Every structure is written in structure tokens, then in C-alpha cells.
A and B are shown apart, each in its own frame.
Chain A
């Protein structure tokens, strides 16, 4: 901002003037020097890197395949198949905080990540030869809008956060059934909630690094699976949760024009 040059000019003038005055001043000061307290009141932008660990339980991939080939009602009972995709999480965040006089910090943050979380498991198809199908589950996108509240010990902030979340998921059930290939695929954007917490350490005037844990719950819901080879479609239910541990680096802008 335009004010800055004047501030800098004034600071420069003071620093140039001070040596001449130093000889006239006592060498010690009666008032001890106090380092300026870090203020969390700011908007910030940054990136993060971590690991994601999901749990996905699908009901019922066996019925999906067998009933598609043999007709509805062919499969007796219900089968669930669970997998635990894991992978890297990398992304960015943008947010703003406000610190009260009592060191409470309130903020809002938007975060988005790409993810390599991927997992698979095998399921038996007893009405086949018998056959085995492969269920794969990926989560390639995680996003959230959260509020956060914390307490600042000067440049260290302990905080909790919570809000709305979105996951981008992909599911495949593939293999052969009585010698015939199939490949069911389903994509979804699933909304849920996220809660977590962490510690943020401001190690420089504009920079902070944090370690954070988040728990995402996306409940369960139906996913329409389609088999492009045979033209089959069917719905499976998937219940999923995701846990993420990540390290973030933020640049704090300190309001207008820093």
C-alpha cells in the first residue's frame, strides 16, 4: 500500500539518526525489551502434504454381478466387501483467522486436495464356475469448508476444526463370470462432514507450519454402477470414512497490503 514507503522512510530516518544520539543515552534501558506478540489475525494461503487412510464397505458387489448375468433375485443373502484405500494427499488451503484480545482464534478455511488413495479386495462369486471378482475403490479428491477455533500461545496455535466435506470417488467391480468379462464402474461426488484438530506454529513473521488430523465421514449411499461391456447397470451401497494426517505450510498476509 502507499503508506508503506512513508513508514519505511520514517524507519530509515530514525535508524540513521540514532547513532548520533546513542552517545548521549545510557547503555541500559529501564524497560526490558518485549518481542512483539504474533498476531493470528490474518488471511493466509498455503499448501499441505500428508497421508490418507480410508475405509470403504460395499454392499453388495456379488449380487451386482451375479444378478446382472443370471437375473434379479438369483443371489441369496447379502455380501459386504471392505477395502482400506491408502495413499498420499497433496493440496492447498486458503483461510482467514481473527484473534481476540483473550487469545481465542476464530477462523474459516477452504481446503482442497488431490489424493492417490486406492485399495482393492477380491470377492467370491459362488454362482459362477465359481469365479472371483475384483473390487477397487479410489478417492482422488477431497475438499472441505471448515470453521476453526483455537487458543494462541503467542506463536503457537492449538485448534479444532469442523465443517462440510466433499469426496470424489471411483469404484470398479471387474473380472469374468462363467468366462464372460465384465467391468462395472461408478463415480460419485459424496458430501459429508469433517472434524479434526492440530497445532500451528508461526516460525516467522509471515509463515507458519502445522500438523493436522482430520476425520471425514461420508455416511453411506447408493452408487449406480454401469458395465460398458455388457450394458448392465446396478446399484451398490458404499459406506466410507477417511482419515488424513497432513503437514501444512501457510503464508499469512496480515491484512491489507501487508
Chain B
């Protein structure tokens, strides 16, 4: 059972399951009946494009082929009832024409707006999101202060977004998030509730060079793989939301979020002939004070990068009829100087002069089929991480000088319906690697060094009331009600008490 170091009387929630279900039902009913509004993943994107949620998302934030190209084109595609940018011009119309010309994924594209672009209103592409969730674990947790040991309802995260075009060729997805205090409190003085979150600012354009039809662009972002358009790479992979009381457990590889919001990166990408995607991006650690100013706990990352961390991506996406297949690979290398004292007990923000090198290579694939009234998506990803732990081994942070860590995810998702869409998702996950006593402790049965081995299943059913239609209030609201269950067969190298961490997470996700 996972512990957080002590229980407190300052529990925020002793709510029972009935109360939580009732609250979520009321909330869902309020949106469904009261507003009777269709949903968009980011309502600001919907206002800009004039497209309903289901055009870009099978199950937000999971993307359709159309959604992937909207992102590749820099979030700049217009066509809605509002001005695309504060500086809208005919060029925006031309970009859209180019976009439509490239694509054949949407059976019914919206008619060209009859209102001249100059006569449209401009609404800043600002959106907000809130997730309220009820968490139940199979066994009560300890050290969850300021929450109860079990059955908690928490409103977290709450986010504000800039999502949309800035100019005809520049767009952004930028997120600022409030995270509730984690169970057990912050582990150091630099924890924040408000922080910058996933951010991706792009320049994108199109070109034709001989037989090559190109989308090309530049991305500036803060999380390796947040710029990716397939939901098989870490930043946007399933689960799309998780309990803040007990999220996914185990030992993910470094590329799976270790440096999210701790780095800044700039890269270039191209999508050739609507088929071949290539990208190279370099990331650099933000300074301690920079991270702290942005609301990111610097000690939340394994250390500071000693050099530019290269991230690369290649993907082939052939498509025929209603079928879309992607086969790809990605990877990164992180040269990390670990913190000397992450507790800040010694008032030190220094790092070791030696560094650990993490080399991640991932392989992923996705198959999507668009039926008349459904989407079927199959996804798989495998990441192999080679760890050369020069710093940690020398300073007793690791027992081995080198370790291997592997991460596998296999997923199937079936989204049925247009409006009143129901999404069924199942995922098998498995992490395994080298035994290391300093990193993973001691096996409770053998007494030998434990492993990071963790495996199990996740299942989720989600209800999205508005997916394809344009009802009253469109395009300002969005909602997703989900029931998620995580089952651990093995956790942190042992099956003993692994089931205690099995988690039921009932949540309502609102966007406006």
C-alpha cells in the first residue's frame, strides 16, 4: 500500500460514494439539460474552426486524422464564425483552402463562411477546464494529509488555456493549471499549486517542392512529446486524466514526463506527402529560479540537464478508405546531473558534478477506423531506456552503474455515437527492468534487490454528451464524464499488496 507519511485531521473530504455519484450526476445533468450545449475539446478551437468536437477528437484529447493535421498546421485553421486571429486576413482563408485540399478525412466539411472575415467578431481563444473526481482505493491509504484515507472528492486540476491562432501561421496551445495540494503535502518548499502546464507554440506553413507536398513548422514547447500528434507518445497517451489522490503508479521511463514543464525546447518538423512525419527538437533545462517562478517545483525533476537533450520522431501514416495506420519511432537522450539534496534540508540547490545518462528509444503504432457512427482505435507503444548511472552509482543513489527500464502499453478504444458518445477504453501496461536495491528497495519475499516491475490493466468508460452537433450554446462548452478503474497485478517488483492500490476514479471533466 502506498503511504504518504502520516494522516491528518484536516481531511477535506469524507464523502461517501453515494454523495460523489450524486454530485457528478447532478453536474452532468446540469450541463446536459441546463445548457443543452455541444462540447468541444477546447471550445476556443471550435470557435475558430467552426468544427464540432468529434471532427478533431475521437475522445478528447485523442485526435482524429483531421485533428492531427489541425495541430500540424499550427492551430491556425479557421472557418468558424469568429475571426481566426486578431489580424485576420485573406491569408487565413487561403491557408484553410490549402488545408482542405490536403485532406479527405471529414465527410462533411463546413461550408465556406458567408460572412467576410473582416466582418466577424474577434474573441480571444481562451478556454478553461476543470476536473472534479471521486477516488476510491481498494485499501485505505496512509499519509494522505490533508485528505481522507479513502473516498475523496477533489477538484483538481483547474486550467486556463490559450488555444488557437495568433497570426495566420503562428498558433499556440498554452496551459496554466491549478493543482490541489498533493496527498502528504509538498515534499519541499518549492511546491506550487499554480503552474504553467503543457505549452506548444508553433509556426507552420505548407510548400510544394517537386513531388513533395509539405507541411513544415517550428515548435517551441515545454514537454518532450507534447508536440506529437499521435496519442501513443507519453505526453498525450492514455489515461488522459487520472486521480490526483493516487495516479498511475510504478516507475516510468524518463521520457514519460520526468521533465514535463521543467524544460524548454525548440524544434523543426515536417509532414511529407500527408504520409511521413519527421521531427528533431532540442531541450534545455530551465534554471532553478525560472522553474520556481513558473510554478514548477525544480526538485520534481530528477536533476538538471547538463546539455541539450535531443528528441527525435519519425512516423509513417498511410491511410486508405476509412482506415488510418501509423507506425513510428521516437527517442531522446537526457544527460542529467542529479540534485544533491531534494529535501532542501541543507539549503542546497546544487547538483552533482557527475551525470546520469538516460537513452530512450520508443516504438509506437496506431490504427484508426472511422465507422458510420463510431471510431475504433488500437494503440501500442514500447519504450526501452538504457540508464548509465555514473552520478547516482558514485553517490549511492543507485546500486548498479547501468540499468535497463522498459515500458509497454497496449490499448484499444471504441468511441460509439456522435452526440451522446460513449467511449470504452482498455489498456494493458507493463514496466520492467533491472533489480536495484538503492533505487527500488528490497523484495519483501526474497530479501534481494527489488525491481521496478509493475503491470496491470486500466479500463474506462466515458460519456461525452456533445460530439458532433451544434446545439444551443455552441461553441462554448464541453464535458466528459468518466469512470476509470486501475488494476495492479504487480507493483514495484512485488505482487504483495499490489491490489491495495487498485483505484476507482469517477470524474467529470468540464471545458468552457
- Decide if B275 touches A253 in the complex (CB within 8 Å): yes
Complex interface: chain B residues within 8 A of A45 (CB): 316, 327
Complex interface: chain A residues within 8 A of B211 (CB): 255
- Decide if A94 touches B329 in the complex (CB within 8 Å): yes
- Decide if A2 touches B213 in the complex (CB within 8 Å): no
Contact with A along B143-180 (1 / 0, CB 8 A): 00000000000000000000000000000000000000
* Chain B residues in the interface with A (C-beta under 8 A): 104, 211, 213, 273-276, 314, 316, 318-320, 327-329, 359, 361, 363, 384, 386, 388, 393, 399-404, 434-435, 437, 449
A196 within 8 A of B: no
- Decide if B401 touches A2 in the complex (CB within 8 Å): no
A228 within 8 A of B: yes
Contact with B along A41-59 (1 / 0, CB 8 A): 0010100000000000000
- Decide if B449 touches A228 in the complex (CB within 8 Å): yes
Contact with B along A10-44 (1 / 0, CB 8 A): 00000000000000000000000000000000010
Complex interface: chain B residues within 8 A of A141 (CB): 384
Complex interface: chain B residues within 8 A of A253 (CB): 275, 316, 318
Complex interface: chain A residues within 8 A of B437 (CB): 228
**Taking the nearest CB of chain A, how far is it from the CB of B262, in angstroms?**
24
Known contacts A94-B314, A185-B400, A189-B386; A256 and B449 CB within 8 A of each other: no
The number of inter-chain residue pairs (CB within 8 angstroms) is 73
Once bound together, how far apart are the Cα atoms of A258 and B323, in whole Å? 12
**Taking the nearest CB of chain A, how far is it from the CB of B313, in angstroms?**
12
**Taking the nearest CB of chain A, how far is it from the CB of B43, in angstroms?**
29
Identify B402's interface contact among A43, A143, A188, A255, CB under 8 A: A188
Of chain B, the residue at the smallest CB distance from A5 is: B104
Complex interface: chain A residues within 8 A of B403 (CB): 187
Once bound together, how far apart are the Cα atoms of A97 and B386, in whole Å? 31
Identify A94's interface contact among B273, B316, B384, CB under 8 A: B316
Contact with B along A161-190 (1 / 0, CB 8 A): 000000010100000000000000111110
- Decide if A187 touches B399 in the complex (CB within 8 Å): no
Known contacts A255-B275, A256-B213; A228 and B400 CB within 8 A of each other: yes
Once bound together, how far apart are the Cα atoms of A239 and B226, in whole Å? 40
- Decide if A186 touches B274 in the complex (CB within 8 Å): no
- Decide if B401 touches A257 in the complex (CB within 8 Å): no
Of chain B, the residue at the smallest CB distance from A187 is: B402
Complex interface: chain B residues within 8 A of A258 (CB): 318, 320
Identify B276's interface contact among A96, A112, A143, CB under 8 A: A96
Once bound together, how far apart are the Cα atoms of A256 and B400, in whole Å? 48
Complex interface: chain A residues within 8 A of B213 (CB): 256
**Taking the nearest CB of chain B, how far is it from the CB of A70, in angstroms?**
22
Once bound together, how far apart are the Cα atoms of A170 and B316, in whole Å? 32
Once bound together, how far apart are the Cα atoms of A170 and B328, in whole Å? 26
**Taking the nearest CB of chain B, how far is it from the CB of A133, in angstroms?**
19
**Taking the nearest CB of chain A, how far is it from the CB of B275, in angstroms?**
5
Complex interface: chain B residues within 8 A of A248 (CB): none
Complex interface: chain A residues within 8 A of B316 (CB): 43, 45, 94, 253
- Decide if A226 touches B401 in the complex (CB within 8 Å): yes
Complex interface: chain B residues within 8 A of A256 (CB): 213, 273-275
A1 within 8 A of B: yes
A74-96 interface (Cβ within 8 A of B) = 92, 94, 96
- Decide if B275 touches A224 in the complex (CB within 8 Å): no
Complex interface: chain A residues within 8 A of B434 (CB): 187
Complex interface: chain A residues within 8 A of B276 (CB): 43, 96
- Decide if B104 touches A224 in the complex (CB within 8 Å): no
- Decide if A233 touches B401 in the complex (CB within 8 Å): yes
Residue contacts A-B, CB under 8 angstroms, 20 given: A92-B363, A94-B329, A112-B329, A112-B361, A141-B384, A168-B404, A170-B404, A185-B400, A186-B402, A187-B386, A187-B434, A189-B386, A224-B393, A228-B435, A233-B401, A255-B273, A255-B275, A257-B104, A257-B275, A258-B320
- Decide if B386 touches A168 in the complex (CB within 8 Å): yes
Once bound together, how far apart are the Cα atoms of A58 and B316, in whole Å? 40
A110 within 8 A of B: yes
**New A-B pairs, 16, CB < 8 Å, besides A112-B329, A253-B318, A257-B318:** A1-B274, A45-B327, A94-B327, A94-B329, A96-B276, A187-B404, A188-B388, A224-B401, A224-B402, A228-B435, A228-B449, A233-B401, A256-B273, A256-B274, A256-B275, A258-B320
- Decide if A110 touches B402 in the complex (CB within 8 Å): no
**Taking the nearest CB of chain B, how far is it from the CB of A184, in angstroms?**
11
Known contacts A45-B327, A96-B276; A257 and B320 CB within 8 A of each other: yes
Of chain A, the residue at the smallest CB distance from B437 is: A228
Complex interface: chain A residues within 8 A of B449 (CB): 228
Complex interface: chain A residues within 8 A of B327 (CB): 45, 92, 94
**Taking the nearest CB of chain B, how far is it from the CB of A175, in angstroms?**
18
Once bound together, how far apart are the Cα atoms of A239 and B465, in whole Å? 62
Once bound together, how far apart are the Cα atoms of A1 and B213, in whole Å? 13
Once bound together, how far apart are the Cα atoms of A168 and B329, in whole Å? 17
- Decide if A226 touches B314 in the complex (CB within 8 Å): no
Complex interface: chain B residues within 8 A of A189 (CB): 359, 386, 388
A126-173 interface (Cβ within 8 A of B) = 141, 143, 168, 170
Most B CB contacts (10 A, CB to CB) among A43, A143, A189, A233 go to A189
Once bound together, how far apart are the Cα atoms of A258 and B318, in whole Å? 8
